Structure 1
Amino acid sequence: MSESAPNARERRRANAVAEATAFAQARTIEHGLASFTIEDICEAAGFSRRTFFNYFASKEDAVLGILQTRDRDDDIEAAFIASRGDLIDDLVTLSVARWTRQAVPLADAATVGAAIKSEPKILTRMLSHIHDSEQGATALIEQREGYEAGDPRAVTAALIFGTFMRMTFDEGITAGQHASFEDILRARVQLARALFTSTESPS
C-alpha cells in the first residue's frame, strides 16, 4: 500500500499534465496562444488554477510541456557533482535523467515544433529555458570541478553541451517517435568526439 498510493498519484499527475499540454498545444497550433486562458487549460485537464502553477510556470510552459521542477532534481544533480567520471558523459546522464523525470516523450517534439511555428512567443520561452539551463549547468560544473565562479572552462563546457541539447531537440522534431532523446543525444556527442579526435585531414 505504501508504494501503490504514490504511484497512483504520479499516474494521475502525469495524465493531468498530458491533458493540459495536449489542449494547450492543439489550441496554440489552431488559433494561437491568445485564443485560450490558463483557466481553459485547467478546465480541460480537470484541475484548479493553483494546481496549474504547481505544474507549470506559465501558459507557454504548458505548451512546451516543461514542468516546474523546484527541488525535484536535487538527487540527480548531487549524483552529477559527486561523480568523477567523464564530464560530458556525466552531463548526458544528468540530462537524460531530467528528461525522463519530465516524462515528455520526444515524439511530442514535432507537435511542439508546430506550436512554435504558429506562435513566436513559444520559441522565445524555449530560448529562455535553454539559457537558464546553460547557466545552471555552468554552476554545477563549477561545483563539481572546484572552479571559481565564471571560470571559462565551465562556461565553455556548458555552452557546448547546450548545443548538443538544441541539436537533439531539433532532430527530435523530425525524427519523432523513431528515436529516443537519449539515443539522439548520445549519437551527437559521439559524433563530436570523433570529429575532434580525428587525425585525418579534411578532403
Structure 2
Amino acid sequence: MTESAITRRGSRREAIIAAAQRLSISCGYTGFTVEDLAAAVGVSRRTLFNHVTSKEEAVLGVLPVVTDEQAQTLRNGGPTGDLFEDLLETTLQCLRADEDDLEDWQRLHDVIERNPELILRVKAHVEELYELIVEHLSARDGVDPDRARLALTLVGGLVQRSVEECIADPSKGPLRPRIHTNLALAREILTARD
C-alpha cells in the first residue's frame, strides 16, 4: 500500500470516527444504525467495515492503544531508561499528544456524557490497557508489579487532570505542554518541605 493510500485510509477512518461520534451526540448511541453512519460519511457499508470493525469501534475509535513496538521498548527499558519518563512518553505517544487538535478528546467526552452506557466499555478498555502496560513494565529489570502499578497510577492521574483541563479550557494549549506544566507542579509539590 502506498503512503498516499495509507494516508487516505487513515483520513477515511478519522472521518468515520468523527461522524459516528457526532451521531452519538445528536441521536444517542442506539439512535443510529451502521447504515446511517455509512450514509453520513458517504461510503458503502462494506467500505465502512474496511476501516472499523463495529459501530462501537467507530464511536470509541480514538481510545489509546499500545503498539507492539512501544510495548517492546518499555519491556527493554526504554526509551530513556527512567521508568516514569518512559511511561509518560509512551502515554503521550498513545494519546497523540503532539497533535494540536483537541477536538477528538472533546467529542469523546461529549459522546460519553450523552451515552453513559459507553462508560463501562471505556472503563474495560482502560483496565485492559492498564494491566497490559503493568505486564510490560514488570518485565524490566528492577520493576515489580507494585512499582509498575504505582508509576502508571501517577502518570494516569497526571494525564487525566491534563486532559480535563484541555477539555474545560482549550486555550490552555495542547496536551503535551499541559502535561509537562502539571508534571512540574507535581514535582514542586512532592519536593516541598514544611
TM over 0.5: yes
Whichever residue aligns with residue 180 of structure 2, its letter is R
Amino acid at match of 2:129: S
Q: Identify if the C-alpha distance between structure 1 residues 73 and 180 changes in structure 2 by more than 3 Å, giving closer, same or farther.
A: same
Q: How many residues align?
A: 191
- Per-residue deviation at 1:34? 0.7
Q: Does 1:180 align with 2:171?
A: no
* 2:109 corresponds to: 113
Identity %: 25
Helix, strand or coil at the partner of 1:14? helix
Alignment pair present for 1:20 and 2:16? yes
Residue 157 (structure 1) aligns with: 151
Deviations 1:140-185 (A, max 9, x none): 210123545xx32222222222222322322222233752222222
Q: CA 1:74 to 1:117, structure 2 compared with 1: closer, same or farther past 3 Å?
A: same
Distance in 2 (alpha carbons) for counterparts of 1:48 and 1:137: 35
Counterpart AA for 1:66: V
1:8 counterpart letter in structure 2: S
Instruction: Look up the SS of the partner of 1:66 in the other structure.
Output: coil
1-structure distance, mates of 2:8, 2:167: 27
Q: Deviations over 1:42-74 (max 9, x none)?
A: 34332545863x6445433322332696xx812
Inter-partner Cα distance in structure 2 for 1:112 and 1:28: 10
SS at match of 1:145: coil
RMSD: 3.0
How far 1:90 moved relative to its partner? 1.0
The answer to whether the 8 A contact 1:92-1:185 is kept is no
